[in-house]
């Protein structure tokens, strides 16, 4: 387990990173990547959308291009302070401070659960993914963006020491173990590193999407 796959360490890390996050973020997670990920979801009938690990609200901004309201949750008070400055505390975004492994929402609540740049810090990714499935409506969609496992053995050792990196086979295993169906993956990234991220989309069991 990497050093940042620890909630207390991750909170401390973001206490300082939050001050420069929006200036650094475009180098690894930019608007083109966000639009590419958003295109993998179906928003036609989506009303209840949750952004887990919302950070300063970069993905939340993209989600608001498709829906009127977004529920957003993050464990870092410092990241949330940056998000409040953008959206306000009372507006189209309903903010919560909390944990991906213990979401403070009722079962079968959301049509879409989105999470980008968060899974790499979760101590127990499958537990969090099961929470996503719990709060999704039957047939609801989940999208998770995480760091793709590097090819270079030296880089792999460094990655493993820091946080969770994974390939499409591990992503497939995690999502299916958590109970998701119709699992598919797409690599994306900026022009200088086009496969730096792996985006996984899947559906919760049930609903018209899985009907015969």
Question: pLDDT tens for residues 8-26?
Answer: 777 777 666 777 777 777 7
pLDDT tens for 68-119 read 999 999 999 999 999 999 999 889 999 999 999 999 999 999 999 999 999 9
Q: What are the tens digits of pLDDT across the range 138-170? A: 999 999 999 999 888 888 788 788 888 999 999
Query: 92: how many CB neighbours lie within 10 A of its CB?
Result: 13
Closest by Cα among 165, 168, 159 to 200: 168
Which pTM was predicted? 0.89
Contact between residue 142 and residue 133 where contact means Cβ atoms under 8 Å apart: yes
Q: What is the pLDDT of residue 142?
A: 98
User: What average pLDDT does range 50-57 have in this prediction?
Assistant: 96
Among 33-42, 126-135, 159-168, 182-191, which is the least confidently predicted range?
A: 159-168
Q: What percent of the chain has pLDDT over 70?
A: 95
195, 183, 193, 176: which is closest to 143 by C-alpha?
183
Distance CA 155, CA 167 (A): 14
Task: Say what the pLDDT of residue 212 is.
Answer: 35
Cα gap 46→92, rounded to integer Å: 15
Q: Which residues sit opposite 102 in a β-bridge?
A: 99
Give the helix/strand (H/E) hosting 156.
helix 153-162
Domains of the chain (ranges; CATH) run 7-210 (3.40.50.150)
pLDDT band of residue 208 (cuts 50, 70, 90) is low
Q: By the 8 A CB rule, do 147 and 122 touch? A: no
């Amino acid at each position: 387990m990497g050093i940042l796959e620890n909630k207390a360490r991750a909170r401390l890390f973001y206490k300082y990173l939050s001050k420069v996050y929006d200036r650094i973020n475009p180098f690894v997670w930019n608007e083109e990547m966000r639009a590419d990920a958003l295109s993998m979801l179906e928003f036609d009938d989506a009303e209840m959308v949750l952004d887990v690990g919302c950070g300063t609200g970069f993905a939340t901004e993209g989600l608001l291009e498709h829906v009127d309201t977004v529920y957003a949750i993050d464990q870092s008070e410092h990241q949330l302070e940056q998000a409040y400055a953008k959206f306000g505390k009372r507006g189209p975004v309903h903010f919560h401070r909390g944990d991906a492994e213990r979401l403070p929402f009722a079962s079968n609540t959301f049509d879409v659960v989105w999470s980008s740049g968060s899974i790499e810090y979760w101590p127990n990714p499958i537990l969090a993914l099961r929470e996503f499935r719990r709060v999704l409506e039957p047939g609801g969609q989940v999208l998770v963006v995480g760091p793709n496992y590097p090819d270079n053995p030296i880089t792999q050792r460094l990655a493993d020491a820091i946080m969770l990196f994974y390939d499409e086979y591990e992503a497939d295993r995690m999502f299916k173990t958590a109970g998701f169906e119709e699992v598919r993956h797409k690599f994306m990234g900026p022009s200088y590193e086009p496969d730096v991220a792996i985006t996984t989309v899947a559906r919760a069991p049930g609903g018209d999407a899985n009907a015969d």
